[in-house]
Amino acid sequence: MEFSQSIPGKAQTPAACQFCEELQEIKWKCINCELFLCQLCCSKIHNKIKASMKHEIINLKDFETVDFATSVRKVDLENMECTIHDKQKCFVFCKDCSEPSCSKCLTETHKLHDYKALDEVYKEIISEMKELMKRLEDNLKLFSYEKEQLQKKLSDGDNNFQETRDLILQTEKDMKEVISKHAKDLLKELEAKWKLTENIIKIELSAITKKEEKLETRKNNLFQALQSHQAIDIFSTSKTLDKSLPQYSNKLIKTNIVKFIHTNIELKKGSQSVLGDIYTIPAMEVINTYRSDIENVTNILLCSDKTAFIGSTNSKKIQKIKFETNNIKVEREIQIKLYDMARYNDDEILVSSKKSDLKLYTKDKKLTSFKSFSPLRTTCVHVTKDNKITVGLVEYSPDVFLITKDSHRKVLIMKQNGDIQHTIEYDKDNQRLLTHPKRIKSFNYRIVVVDIINNEREGRVVMFDYGGQLHWTFNGCNSIISDRVKFYPADVSITSTAMILVSECVKHAIHVLNPAGEVIVCSDVKVFGIELPFSLDIDNNEVLWIGCNTWGEDKIKKAKIICVKLT
Each of the 567 residues of the chain gets a pLDDT tens digit; together they read 333 334 444 446 677 888 887 767 888 888 778 788 888 888 888 877 877 777 778 887 776 665 666 666 665 777 788 888 888 889 899 998 989 998 889 888 888 888 888 888 888 888 898 899 999 999 999 999 999 999 999 999 999 999 999 999 998 899 899 889 988 988 898 888 888 888 888 988 998 899 899 899 988 888 888 888 888 878 888 888 888 887 766 666 666 666 676 665 554 444 455 667 778 788 889 999 999 999 999 999 998 778 999 999 999 999 999 999 889 999 999 999 999 999 998 789 999 999 999 999 998 889 999 999 999 999 999 999 999 999 999 999 989 899 998 899 999 999 999 999 999 999 988 999 999 999 999 999 999 999 999 999 999 999 999 999 999 999 998 644 434 578 999 999 999 989 999 999 999 999 999 999 998 889 999 999 999 999 999 998 889 999 999 998 888 889 999 999 987
**Sign of the CA dihedral with 72 first, then 73, 79, and 84 last:** positive
Q: Is residue 510 a contact partner of residue 501, using CB atoms and an 8 Å limit? A: yes
CA atoms within 13 A on the CB side of 550: 20
Non-local CB neighbours of 451 within 8 Å, separated by 6+ positions: 434, 435, 436, 437, 438, 459, 460, 461, 462
CA–CA–CA angle 48, 54, 57 (5° rounding): 85
pLDDT given for residue 6 in this prediction: 41
Strand partners, 435: none
Return the HEC string of 460-477.
EEEEEECCCCEEEEECCC
Cis peptide before 489, with omega less than 30 degrees from 0?
A: no
> Which CATH number is 13-66's, of 3.40.1000, 1.10.357, 2.60.40, 3.30.160?
3.30.160
Q: 428 - beta bridge partners?
A: none
CATH superfamily for domain 275-566: TolB, C-terminal domain (2.120.10.30)
Q: What local confidence, expressed as pLDDT, does residue 11 receive? A: 43
Closest C-alpha to 389, from 338, 454, 320, 340: 340
546, exposed or middle or buried, with CB in 10 Å at 0-12, 13-18, 19+? buried
Residue ranges of alpha helices (H) inside 227-318 are 231-239
Q: 32: buried, middle or exposed (CB in 10 Å: 19+, 13-18, 0-12)?
A: middle
Q: What's the pTM value of the predicted model, to 2 decimals?
A: 0.65
**Phi, psi at 232, each rounded to 5°:** -60, -30
DSSP SS3 for 499: coil
Q: Give residue 250's pLDDT.
A: 63
Judge contact between 72 and 53, C-beta under 8 A: no
Please give the pLDDT value at position 482: 38
DSSP H/E element including 151? helix 118-226
